[in-house]
Amino acid sequence: MQVPAHFEYERATSVDHALALLAKWGSEARVVAGGHSLIPMMKLRLARPEALIDINDLEELAYVRLDGDVLAVGAMTRHADLLASPLVGEHYPIFHDAERVIADPVVRNRGTVGGSLCQADPSEDLSAAFAAVGAAAVVRGPGGERKVPVREFHTGPYETVVAPGELLIEIVVPVRPGGGSAYEKVERRVGDWAVAAAGAAVWLDGDTVSDAGIGLTAVGAAHFHAPEAEEFLRGSPATDANLVEAGRIAAAHCEPVADQRGPSDYKKHLAGELTTRALRRAVERARGAI
């Protein structure tokens, strides 16, 4: 029987209350959202907080909405709700693609968008999807609020810019016309973490790629991101040859580690292939196909 070590439990009733509780307990406290990463880590003694601040009552952080021309996703939005959101499907289908292959329906009922980003697992899917679309994270602390591009949010495996005493509040994505997005993942079995996965967002001006975003996960891409391949695509025609070349460039800049999910060269191959496939689908969607 795996049970966490002893800790104190407090339930926050508002964002301000959560910040006050974090201040009260200091750096030994952790917030618990869905608990689907933190509680298993506590069972295995990979995490041993002295106090857990439960933020499940913070309904104020559970939303997907359009704020002007920005898609805003609250940190406490459950995976299942991101998957069910028609707004997301309309503006950024990449998130529906990704959510369909994150864990399983029951885990998705509980796990949250904010918890996923803050966990910063090197194989985390939403981090790659948010990196692809150029999202920013809104972080609130005792000193107020700051906005950090998702591409600067992760500072290493399991590490983010969120300091003790701070909360991730929401993730914002600019909604821009003329775009398409998609996510492609290879896993060993349904609901498993990625062997490799790639997300792509493309904006077209006629047949030219006016802007592109590429996110990668599980393949050792710095900040879940493929800037060299994006740079190659910007201003180029959206031909299949160019999408293949972008995949090749993305793969060349990855450093996957060999593990039980496969050898490094296989993962590198997947990084390139999945980048190209995600780009192809994103381009099709930008051109109006579904």
Interface residue list for another protein (CB under 8 A): 1-9, 11, 32, 35-36, 39-40, 43, 52, 54, 56, 103-107, 109-110, 190-191
Is 77 a binding residue for ligand FAD by CB under 6 A? The answer is no
The answer to whether 77 and 33 have CB atoms below 8 angstroms apart is no
| Closest to another protein by CB, 86 or 144 | 86
- Report the nearest approach of ligand FAD to the CB of residue 204 (Å): 29
* Dihedral angle of Cα 37, 40, 46, 47, to the nearest 10 degrees: 70
Beta strands of 50-99 (E only): which ranges?
A: 51-54, 64-67, 70-74
* Dihedral angle of Cα 105, 161, 181, 106, to the nearest 10 degrees: 0
69, two tokens: 């021309």
Q: CB under 5 to 8 A by kind: which of ligand FAD, another protein, none does 56 bind?
A: another protein
Q: Binding ligand FAD by CB under 6 A: which of 33, 182, 226, 282?
A: 33
In the stretch 247-286, what mask flags binding to ligand FAD with x, by CB under 6 A?
----------------------------------------
Whole-number Cα distances in Å, 172 to 27, 30, 68, 78, 89: 27, 24, 11, 16, 15
d(CA 101, CA 274): 14
Is 162 a binding residue for ligand FAD by CB under 6 A? The answer is yes
List of residues contacting ligand FAD (CB under 6 A): 30-38, 75, 102-103, 107, 111-112, 114-116, 118-119, 124-126, 162, 167-168, 191, 193
